[in-house]
Chains A and B, each alone.
Chain A
Amino acid sequence: MKFTWFNLMPWPHLPDDFRETNRSVWVDIDQALFDPVKCHDVYNDYLDLLEYADQLGFDGVGINEHHQNGYGLMPSPNIMGAALARRTSKAAVVVLGNSIALYNPPIRVAEEFAMLDIMTGGRFVGGFPVGTSMDTNFCYGTIPGLTREKYAEAHELIIRAWTEKKPFAFNGRYTKLRHVNIWPNVLQTPHPPIHIPGGGSVETYDFCVDNTYSYSYLSFSGYLRAKALMDGYWRRVAEREVDNSPYRAGFAQTVFVAETDEEAERLYSEYAFYFYNRCLHVYPGFADAPGYRTIKTIQTGALNQYMRPTYTNMTWKDLVDGGHVIAGSPETVRQRFEELIKSLRVGNIFLLMHVGNMPKELCKYSTKLFAEKVMPHLQNMWPEFDDDGRFWCKPLAQRAIPAPLPAATPEMVPAK
């Protein structure tokens, strides 16, 4: 198993009446709710937490890209990745990912991922989301009906830039470059492993199979609701007659660990409600620009996650029983993760352990319990696929270590 400690980096200062007084956490969120001075601390805390996860032995630390979003403060996850490259040493830096249709020219992604791959010494896993309609269409203005064509072209360009080790000309519809020759280029061969976050687009299943990418379902609604979608993925994998390694799939799950189930509710419910009620308050008009989803996908009925379920009236029990969150004692959490891992057949888990406005120390408490009392029991769930290295990074054996900072000398202290 590969456990990635994932942080969406939510804004923790949304007001109590956010739902009532704002129409959306995303796209047109009120600028007056943002405070850059507070954000200075927020970023620092979130990086501390990711670094803490590295120290505790998680396989990866994960970050992602969102724009104009009150629950995701990372328009550029690569900047966070660069910060993590220096202050983590063992965990993979998992950037899940860059919305490649939004970069102009898209070789920017090839270049920045190559830099992260090298800076981390090959401790790097990348991702290529199509991006949500909110990010891709409404914030970044990509035409919905052309988004997938633009994505496919960007993908071709990036892979060629990584793998054709000589200059080439690229004549795309959206990008025309006479001299593609990124420098520096990637460390891992043929390139870093790629995970594709998907939300049920059937074309994405084939795309993952075709390219040997891992399919990641980054839902917030938990593993019980994900079963039908993941079954659809595995059916397609079987139809395509490729192996069924669980590392072909990943899943994101909100999780809270405490000493007992009761303590979990007492400690964490407030923060779960903050996330599910305030952070997921997205105006339905932003959820799916017409043309963003393919006709085939709409016809399968895999409708947008923001149209349902509605969380406003859910109790802690509803959240836990419905599997939206996995919470409780280490034993409860272990059991439910076993069920998740087996029922969805996933080798990559993205743990949403910092949720909403959760304080740093409390998050560390939950993280430590997971690392010490849950994770060791789950690491060997797929022993027959232990040697499947296709979907995870291959770091250098000998990696450079940042030099200790020199002790401050009087002349280095800024003058008052």
Chain B
Amino acid sequence: MITSRKIGTRAGSINVFEGGEGPDLLFLHAAGGVNAENPFLQALAKSYHVRAPQLPGYGDSDDSDNIHDMLEVTLHTFDVLEKLGMSKPILVGHSLGGMIAAEMAAVCPNDIDKLCLIAAAGLWLDQYPVPDIFTLLPREFPEYMFHDADAGRAMMTSNGNINDPAFLIPFLVNNARQLGMAGKFLFPIPERGLKDRIHRIKAKTMLVWGASDKLFPAAYAHAFKDSIAGAELVIIPEAGHMVPLEKTEATLAAIARLR
């Protein structure tokens, strides 16, 4: 059972999903966002006391003009942690959420001691240019996000008629709010200097990657592993960038190794 509540921050009112019992876990969502029905969030709640804040601009969180850059979103997330009264939770981030989690662990290495980065953004390899997600049309997303694009298409909810204003306008508003915020950290190149700070991470770190991730191919997993002392890497077969949805149990098993 996932519930939600609002907390006040400098960046406005923030919506936080919460559920489950067990060790504290903070989950930071990807650029696509998270909702209460998210199967991965529900699976986490079976073993953890999970909290998942929505970034400003996402879902029921306020839009915010106070967040401009990586440092501000990193400190914002620490503020959320503080408001939730959490201390040293298991910090799990997916994609953009992984980028923020890695920043947090690098900026305050003594405050984060268990870290799981799932298909994290934040590094850039010239040999493997990350596709420009900001140019993708809605119908193109499944191909990039999932190992099994057809199954992924069924999982994504944006199957409305793009020529119908009743669908299009809310869709574009949602896109503008969410990706408008995500773009502050990901556009046009999803790299904001983490490479110069990542060596500071002290947390026990688990890296989880889909073997067929088309956004951040496995070379990125190895780049993270090479940059974080003692990091363990689990590459999950038959999974793409949305590995927490495509291989939920395997992702949970990897996180469990942090306990």
- Chain A residues in contact with chain B, CB under 8 A? 137-138, 141, 143-146, 149, 173, 283-286, 288-295, 298-299, 301, 303
Contacts and interface: CB of A to CB of B under 8 A. Distances in A.
Nearest to B172: A298
Contacts of A294: 176
Interface of B: 63, 65, 68, 134-137, 140, 165, 168-169, 172-173, 175-181, 183-184, 187-189
Contact of A144 (B68, B165, B180, B189): B180
A143 B192 CA distance: 13
A291 B137 contact: no
A295 B179 contact: no
A185 B113 CA distance: 57
Nearest to A284: B137
A291 B176 contact: yes
Contact of B135 (A283, A298, A301): A283
B173 A290 contact: no
Contacts of B140: 285
Contact of B173 (A143, A149, A285, A299): A299
Nearest to A283: B135
B180 A291 contact: yes
B169 A143 contact: no
Centre residue among A173, A293, A295 by max chain B CB count within 10 A: A295
B6 to A, nearest CB: 20
A228 to B, nearest CB: 14
A288 B189 CA distance: 17
B135 A290 contact: no
Given A138-B188, A289-B183, A301-B169, A149 B136 contact: no
A143 B135 contact: no
A145 B184 CA distance: 7
Contact of B180 (A173, A285, A290, A299): A290
30 contacts: A137-B134, A137-B187, A138-B134, A138-B135, A138-B188, A141-B187, A141-B188, A141-B189, A143-B183, A143-B184, A144-B179, A145-B183, A149-B65, A285-B137, A288-B172, A289-B135, A289-B183, A290-B175, A290-B176, A290-B183, A291-B176, A291-B181, A291-B183, A293-B172, A293-B176, A298-B169, A298-B173, A299-B169, A301-B169, A303-B168
B65 A144 contact: no
A145 B186 CA distance: 11
Given A146-B68, A291-B181, A298-B169, A137 B176 contact: no
B142 to A, nearest CB: 15
Given A141-B188, A295-B63, A290 B179 contact: yes
B176 A298 contact: yes
Contacts of B180: 144-145, 290-292
Contacts of B165: 301
B181 A289 contact: no
Given A291-B183, A298-B176, 15 more contacts: A137-B187, A138-B134, A138-B135, A141-B187, A141-B188, A285-B135, A285-B136, A285-B137, A286-B135, A290-B183, A291-B179, A291-B181, A293-B172, A298-B169, A301-B169
Q: Which among A291, A292, A303 has the greatest number of chain B C-beta atoms within 10 A?
A: A291
Contacts of B137: 284-285
Contacts of B136: 285
Nearest to B162: A307
A295 B176 contact: yes
Contact of B184 (A141, A146, A301, A303): A146
A345 to B, nearest CB: 27
A29 B165 CA distance: 30
B63 A144 contact: no
A295 B65 contact: no
B140 to A, nearest CB: 8
Given A137-B187, A145-B180, A289 B134 contact: yes
A143 B187 contact: yes
Interface centre among A284, A286, A298 (most CB of B within 10 A): A298
Nearest to A289: B134
Contacts of B181: 145, 291
A295 B173 contact: yes
A141 B176 CA distance: 17
A149 to B, nearest CB: 7
A141 B188 CA distance: 6
A53 B55 CA distance: 54
Contacts of A290: 134, 175-176, 178-180, 183
